[in-house]
A and B are shown apart, each in its own frame.
Chain A
Amino acid sequence: MFNALRILLLGLFGAAMVHIAILSLLPIYSERDVWAALAARADLYSTVPLVHSAAGTEGDRPFIDNPLIEASVCRFDLSTGMTRILADGRVPFWSMSIYDRDGLNVFSLNDRSAQQRTLDVVIADPPQTLELRKGLPEALEQSVLVQADVTEGMALVRVFVPDESWRAAVSEFLDSVRCAPL
C-alpha cells in the first residue's frame, strides 16, 4: 500500500517535470519558427506577402488567418543601423506590428497614429533613438519614430480589404511597402 502510494507520488512528480519541459521546450524546438520560415524565403529587408491560411500549404507559413486582411512582412537587423518602412497609397485601414526574433509582438501602431495616415515608420533601438533626439534629419520629419527593444526583428503590415473593389488599391499599397536600412 505504502509502496503503491510512493510510486504514484513519484509518477506525478515526474509528470510535472515532463509538463514543464514540454512547455519550455516547445517555443525553442517548434517547426513553425516564423523567423526561420521567412529567412528561407527571402533576404533581410525584402518584403514577403503573406498567404491566407485557408488556401495555403505548409510551405507558405506564416499565414494570415483573417480573410479580410492582407499582409506583408519584412525582416530587419538594427545592428547595422535603423530601419525605415515606407508605403504609398491610401487604404481604409492599415496597421503595423514589430515582432522580435521569437515572433513576440513588441510594438504596434495603426494609421491613426501616423501623420496623414501615411505609412512612414523609422524603427530604432534605444541607443539609436538617443542619437536621433540630438537632431532629427529633415528627411525623417514626417516619420513615426519607433523605439523597439530588439536587434533582429520583423515588421508586419496589415491592410483591411472591405470588399473586392478595394483589392487593387490594397495590393498596390502592399507592393509599395519598402523596408530599408538607414
Chain B
Amino acid sequence: MGSGTRQIRTSMLKTILQVATVLLIALGAGTGSAWLALETTRSIGSVDVGAWTTFPRAGTRQADPYARARSARIGELALGQAEGVSFIADHDDAGAPLLRQCSYLIEGPVPAVRFFTLYAAGPTRRALQAPERFSAALHSQSLLWREKQQLSISLGRHAHPGNWLAVEGRGPMLLVLTLFDTPISTGARVDEIDLPRITRVGCDV
C-alpha cells in the first residue's frame, strides 16, 4: 500500500519534471531564436552588398513577418521606394566589428544616385553626436571627389585630410549609407550594385 503511493508520487514528480523541461526548452529556444532573428544586422530577408546590409521590403506591405516585427520593435517609418534606400554596416570587409576607437577607410564605387548621406550610429541606430564643430554626417555634395566617381572617406577619431567623418568615444558602431532618389531601391536589383569597401586602418588602444 505504502510503496504504491510512493510509486505514484515518483511518477507524478517525473511527469511534472518532464513537462517543466519541455516548457523550458520551448520558451528558451523560442524567445532566443526570435530575438536572434530580429536583433542581428544580417538576418532573414536581408540583402548583403559587401559589408553593407539592407532590407529591401522592410516597412512595406510586402514585408515578411520578420521585417514587420523588426520595424515594429524599432518604431521606424521606413524610406519609400521613390525616396531612397538605406544600407547598414556593423563590420568591415574583413569581418571585424566596427569600433569607434578605430579608424577606417571607406572607398570604392557608388551607384548612380541623386545624392547620398553617410553617418555613424550607435547600436540602436541612433546617429552618434559628432565632436564639437564637426558634422555628424557627410553627404555626396559636400565631398571631395576623386576620378571616376571613386569615393574615399576617412572615418575615425583623428583628423584626416580629404573627406573625414569624425567620431568620438569607444564601443561598437554602425555605419548608415543612404542613397536618395535612386533606381536601385526596387529590391530585385539591390544585390547587383557595388558599394564602397570598409577597411580598418588602425586602432587606438
Instruction: List residues of B (174-192) whose CB comes within 8 Å of A's CBs.
Output: 176, 178, 180-181
What's the nearest-Cβ distance from chain A to residue B81, in Å? 6
> Quick one: which of A10, A66, A99, A107 contacts B22, CB cutoff 8 A?
A10
Interface of B is mostly: mixed
Interface of A is mostly: mixed
Known A7-B22, A97-B77, A113-B82; contact A15-B29, beta-carbon cutoff 8 A: yes
What's the nearest-Cβ distance from chain A to residue B25, in Å? 3
B29 near A65 with CB under 8 A, answer no
Contact with B along A65-77 (1 / 0, CB 8 A): 1111100010000
A54 within 8 A of B: yes
A12 near B121 with CB under 8 A, answer no
Q: Number of A interface residues at 8 Å Cβ cutoff, please give it.
A: 59
B59 within 8 A of A: yes
Binds B, one of A80-88, A118-126, A156-164, A171-179: A156-164
A108 within 8 A of B: yes
Point out the residues of chain B lying under 8 angstroms from A37, CB to CB. 75
**B-side interface residues toward A, CB under 8 Å?**
18, 21-31, 33-34, 37-38, 59-61, 63, 65-66, 68-69, 71-84, 114-115, 117, 119, 121, 125-129, 135-137, 139, 141-142, 176, 178, 180-181
Q: Would you list 15 pairs from A and B whose C-beta atoms are within 8 A, ordered by A residue?
A: A12-B25, A15-B27, A17-B26, A21-B30, A27-B69, A54-B136, A65-B125, A67-B135, A73-B77, A95-B181, A97-B77, A100-B61, A103-B77, A105-B80, A108-B82
